[in-house]
Every structure is written in structure tokens, then in C-alpha cells.
Chains A and B, each alone.
Chain A
Amino acid sequence: MKPAEPFARFAYQRHADQARAKPASYPVVIIGAGPVGLTLAIDLKLRGIDCVLLDDQDRIGEGSRAICFAKRTLEIWDRLGCAAPMLDKGVRWNIGKVFQHEKLLYHFDLLPEPGHKMPAFINLQQYYAEKFLVDRAQALGVDLRWLNRVVGLQSGEQGACIVVETPDGSYSLDARYVIACDGARSPMRSMLGLEFMGEQFEDQFLIADVRMTAEFPVERWFWFDPPFHGGKSCLLHKQPDDVWRIDLQLSPDADTEYERRPEVVRPRIERMFGHGDFDLEWISVYRFQCRRLERFVHGAVIFAGDAAHQVSPFGARGANSGVQDADNLGWKIAAALRGRSGLIASYDQERSQAADENILHSTRATDFIAPRHKAEARFRNAALALARQTEFGKRFVNSGRLSTPTTYMASPLSTADDLPWAAGPTPGAPIPDAPLGNGYLSEYLGQGFALLHWRGGGEALYVEGLPMIAVSDHDEALIARFALTPGAAYLIRPDRHVAARFHNPEPAALAAALNKANAA
């Protein structure tokens, strides 16, 4: 294995703020230039908010880490203008195979629904995703400061002051909002002395990136109890550049120093591929946790991504849910800076619900993949045995339920339906994409609220200050997906969740729904 090299390195630059006698003041300081912090910085920049993005490193680390980016994440990055390079580089797959011992139990085809601009998901090493986000942030002129480590914090309800250490010594910054996107080990969380509640799982997993040019199908393979790794589970995923990602379950008491040695890892992978024609690129061992902060908002300090909640990796809910945190927070911060501070509380409420949902799903998958005692293993094996013969057995098998966006139930921003709807996204639900005109609905939506409306032969709706997306009689797929009746309208939030919907929209009801969605 070659010595690890950073994927990309950035230059530390001394900033004029470091020489100021009084701390410079910004509306927003974001801590941590990972996928979440970068997404939020780009979002705020596009909303015209001045923010500073600090990172304690000067590089994008080696190793694939998050590798599965879901449709919702890609839609968010598309809104921010950086999905194209991700799609170009990413690998798409539809076939998944589940094995028990050496036998194929069953395979599934994701058969993605047509009429969406973005695929169900792509596989892409996190370092590529981060590089494309950095490129976009830099093109927009985001104030990104490398080798800026936050070492001190004083915060209140109306703002925070942070102390930042750099190669040139330390300096201070004032901010109305400080957003902590500083990852699973979040130093910001420690500085505030906040408890990270939840459970730590016993089992350890070894992950390896392997470069192999030999022919091998582009499929997701999951093994329960494979012959090359007796009694444990294993996941194989294709990434770009002929890199394969392998996740191997280890015993709780496994000697990780021994297990991660290339001469120990290699023979297992040789048996898995059936040949030794590959190179090991990166090996890491982790023990995972499902934990969250009780509250994500602490006065002027707001937590997002792994700093706020951590899940097991099965289901690709880590980076994907973090990017959705940023998506939920960006427009609310922008509005709060204009006086609508009530929106910030809804971030805590909505994303807490999402975190609980993600923790629930990833905990269930973990319990299935790594049973804790004999009886659990027996049920797991019974489900696998039934999966060979029955449809319901397959449905019990859980090798990770892939990330989908959360419907915000009982959100303070949602207006309940006044009349029954046959289908379509409910208030609080993420909207699905759909073909519209010669493109897609997602391309018509901007950075703010919008009204999706089908005249259906009646009067056109007009609400001042609210962009309207007109659906024509020809947009049948969209009409069906939203269960639009003639004259109906959806009020869509900037993060593309439904705020309200009406079969017979009245301007007064729409204005009230818009106020509610703005926590006004």
C-alpha cells in the first residue's frame, strides 16, 4: 500500500481580519469545510449572505468515507450549481445482490422511477464530492480559510465570539450565528459541554478501498456470513476510477491493529474477488454510534451534520442527512438575519425529527447485519432462509435502507390540508421532481418560495412576490405525481418541501400559509 497522500491540498492565507484590533463581525461563521459546511456556505453565498467558512485542515483527506449520495442530496447540489461534475464522475448502479454463505439469496433491481432529473443515487468518494464543492465555493468567492482552528467560544442568544488559531497566531471573530459543521468528534460540542446521547455499537468494521481494473459487475453486493469472512457481513460497492469499497464486519474484540495489516486484509479480498489482481489504497477501522444532541440550536450556535447526529453507515444516511440539514438551515438563516428569527426553532424541530428517523433506520439495519446475541442471529438467519423462497422474507432482510428525505410531520411551518387529497406530497413532505415543459420541475424552482399551479381551464392565480410555476395540461406526469385537480396549487418552500396545498386556492389562504411557513 502506498503511503497516504491528501487528495487535494489548499494554501493557508493570512486574512486581513487577523490584524484587526477589534474582531471583525460577520452574519455567519461556519466551522468545518466538509460536505455539510461547504453546502451551507454555497447556499448562503447564493442568498447574498456574507459568511466565513473555517477549517482546521488544509487538505481533503484520503479514503472514500461517505460514498453514496442520494437523489435528494444531488437535487440540493443541483440547486446550488454543482451537481453536474458529481454526476459526470459518479457511478450509477441499479442491481443489488444479497448472498448468504457462497449462495446468491436474491437480487433486486432498483428500477428507478422515470421523470426525475437526478438518479436515485450515485457512488462517489467523499473526496471528490468535497473537491467539487470547494471548486463551486471558490468560484462564488466564498471566504474559505484553511488551517483556521477554533479554540475558544463565547456565545449568547444574540451572537457569539470565537477565537481562531492559525499558523500566524490567534485572532477573534464575532458572528450573529455560528454553525458547527465540525464532524462526529465536534470540538464545538465539547466547548459547549453538550452531551451526545445514544448508543455505541460493539461491532467494528474494517473499510478498504481497492483498485482493480479486472472486469467485475457494477452492482452492490452484500454477503451475510460469506465463506471468505466466516460468521460476519461484508459489503462491496463500486466507485469511480476502478476503486471498489469493501466494508468488513469485525468482532467486537478483534485486534484492529492486526486486522488492518495489508497481509491480513489481502487474502480475504483475494477470496472475495477470486484473484489477487488489485491494489489496496486505503484501510480504516471504525466502531460506529447512533447518537444525537438533544437540541441542535444553542443560542447563536447551531449544529448540523455529524456534529449534531451520528448514524451507522448502513443506508448512507450520514452525509446525505447532513446536506439536508444545510438545505433546511440556509434559507432560514437568511430569513432570520432579516428579522424572522422564529424560523431557527423550526430547524431544530424538523431536523430533530429527521435525525430520529435516520437513527431508527440505521439502528434497525445494524441490528440485522450484526445481531447481538444468539436468538437475534437465529431470527436473522430465519429471515435469510425465508428470503430464498418468499417475497415477505426478502422484505425482512435489511442490509441498509437507503436514505430518503424526511417528511416533516407536524411542522410549525406547515398548513394542514383543508380538503382531502387523493395523493401527492403532503404538507411537510419533500416534493418529487417531475417532467415539466421540456425540462424538469426542479429546474424551474429557484432559491425562494414558489407556487406550483395548474389552471386547468380556470383563472390564473397571482400572489404578489411569489414566483409562479405554471403547469399545463400536457404535464400529465407532474399532474399525476402531485395529484393536481384543475385550479389546484402547491406552496413550495425554498428547501422544496410542501408548505401548503389547496384544491381551490384563495389569495388570503395562500398569504396566511406563506406567513406561517415564514414563522411570521
Chain B
Amino acid sequence: MTGLDTKARFADPDAAYRAIIEAHRGLTESESAELNAALVLILANQLGDMAMLHEALVLAQRSIKGLRDPHA
């Protein structure tokens, strides 16, 4: 059983994605990383659940591993 919902939760995922991208427009690499750090903390607090946070971290780790090694 998983606590983290991996089905699409936004009625309009394109709009949500776009909002995140727009927030990063015009930022330097370092400003962008700062924004992400703040965003991660805000969203983690919104989750407010250690088990779900762990699942999210594992999913993120697995996905970037897949990015580096497409055969993984």
C-alpha cells in the first residue's frame, strides 16, 4: 500500500507545470536552486507525513537515476 498518490491530482497538470516553470524564468542557476529549496520545504510541510516524504524522496532519487541511466 502506498501513501503517495502517483496518479495525476491536478485537473489541469499543464497549468501546474507551467506555473513552476514560470517561477524559474529569468533566474540564475543559483537563484533557481534557492527557489527550489524553499519550495521543497513548503511542500514537505504541506505533506506533513514522514512516510509520504520518504516515499517522495525515494521516487525522486529513482527518477533521476533513470535520467542518468535510461536502462536502469
Among A378, A392, A393, which residue has its beta carbon within 8 angstroms of that of B37? A378
Q: Which residues of A contact B55 (CB under 8 A)?
A: none
B19 within 8 A of A: no
Q: Which residues of B contact A379 (CB under 8 A)?
A: 37, 40-41
Q: Which residues of B contact A106 (CB under 8 A)?
A: none
* Chain A nearest CB, measured from B56 CB (Å): 15
* Chain A nearest CB, measured from B40 CB (Å): 7
A396 within 8 A of B: yes
B60 within 8 A of A: no
Size of interface on A: residues with Cβ below 8 Å to B: 11
Main secondary structure of the interface of B (DSSP, over half): helix
Which residues of chain B from 38 to 58 have any CB-CB distance to chain A below 8 Å in the complex?
38, 40-42, 45
Which residues of chain A from 373 to 425 have any CB-CB distance to chain B below 8 Å in the complex?
375, 378-379, 381-383, 385-386, 392-393, 396
Q: Which residue of B lies closest to A378 (CB)?
A: B37
Q: By the criterion CB–CB under 8 Å, are B41 and A386 in contact? A: yes
* Chain B nearest CB, measured from A342 CB (Å): 36
* Chain B nearest CB, measured from A172 CB (Å): 54
Q: Which residues of A contact B33 (CB under 8 A)?
A: 375, 378
> Given the complex of chains A and B, what is the CA–CA distance between A9 and B17 in angstroms?
70
Q: Which residues of B contact A378 (CB under 8 A)?
A: 33-34, 37
* Interface band, chain B: under 10
* Chain A nearest CB, measured from B48 CB (Å): 9
Q: Which residue of B lies closest to A393 (CB)?
A: B41
* Chain B nearest CB, measured from A184 CB (Å): 33
Q: By the criterion CB–CB under 8 Å, are B37 and A396 in contact? A: no
Q: Which residues of A contact B40 (CB under 8 A)?
A: 379, 382
By a beta-carbon cutoff of 8 Å, the part of chain B in contact with chain A is 33-34, 37-38, 40-42, 45
Which are the 6 A-B pairs with shortest beta-carbon distances?
A: A382-B37, A382-B38, A392-B45, A378-B37, A379-B37, A382-B41
Can you list 23 A-B contacts (CB < 8 A)? A375-B33, A375-B37, A378-B33, A378-B34, A378-B37, A379-B37, A379-B40, A379-B41, A381-B34, A381-B37, A382-B34, A382-B37, A382-B38, A382-B40, A382-B41, A383-B41, A385-B38, A386-B38, A386-B41, A386-B42, A392-B45, A393-B41, A396-B41
Given contacts A382-B40, A392-B45, 20 further A-B contacts (CB under 8 A): A375-B33, A375-B37, A378-B33, A378-B34, A378-B37, A379-B37, A379-B40, A379-B41, A381-B34, A381-B37, A382-B34, A382-B37, A382-B41, A383-B41, A385-B38, A386-B38, A386-B41, A386-B42, A393-B41, A396-B41
